[in-house]
Amino acid sequence: MALLPILCYPDPRLTKVAKPVTVFDERLQTRIQDMFETMYDAKGIGLAATQVDYHERLIVIDVSEDHDQPLVLINPEIVWSSPERHLNEEGCLSVPGIYDGVERADAVRVKALDAQGESREISADGLLAVCIQHEMDHLMGKVFVEYLSPLKRNRIKTKLVKAQREARA
């Protein structure tokens, strides 16, 4: 098991569109475990492979307080989303320290493969629905700040670039 470096916005690798997972081997199982370890260590509730510079359609999620409900979604597709939408305050491990409102569907149904390649369908609402939509955006090369106004996005970019520069100095 290993902690993986998390890419930080505005790293251009975060804009890559992830490719479908086609091989379910030991390498994939190790990657899944490393992603969970990284997510828990960073105190996150979701992590997309794109955020750790793997460009495959893989997401790990655990919205439970005790970290005892790990969820693996491989090649996820939203097959239904509720017409009801709400503005939710979101944060992101790739945009540290920044939180802002993003409008998302209240509920979704997702078809995906699990870690063994078995097909499953999951219905989610509340925090889990928001988390799934947020992480699936990463697989499409989209970071939540792209939902914000250009002014807010540029302020966030400037702040994070400055923080990254100071961290390297």
Q: What is the pLDDT of residues 3-28, one digit of tens each?
A: 999 999 999 999 999 999 999 999 99
Query: Does the annotation place 138 within a ligand binding site?
Result: yes
pLDDT tens digits, one per residue of 48-88: 999 999 999 999 999 999 999 999 999 999 999 999 999 99
Among residues of the chain, what percentage have pLDDT more than 90? 97
The whole-angstrom separation of Cα 122 and Cα 91 is 23
* Positions marked active-site: 135
pLDDT tens digits, one per residue of 102-140: 999 999 999 999 999 999 999 999 999 999 999 999 999
Query: Does the annotation place 134 within a ligand binding site?
Result: yes
**Local structure of 132: helix, strand or coil:** helix
Q: Which pLDDT belongs to residue 41?
A: 97
Phi-psi region of 126 (alpha: psi -120 to 50; beta: other; left: phi over 0): left
Q: Are 79 and 110 in contact (CB under 8 A)?
A: yes
Q: Which pLDDT belongs to residue 169?
A: 83
How many CB atoms within 10 Å of residue 88?
A: 19
Q: Are strands 85-92 and 95-105 parallel, antiparallel or unpaired?
A: antiparallel
Among residues of the chain, what percentage have pLDDT more than 70? 100
pLDDT tens digits, one per residue of 135-152: 999 999 999 999 999 999
User: pTM for this one?
Assistant: 0.96
Instruction: List phi, psi (to 5°) of 15.
Output: -95, 0
Q: Are 137 and 147 in contact (CB under 8 A)?
A: no
Query: Does the annotation place 92 within a ligand binding site?
Result: yes
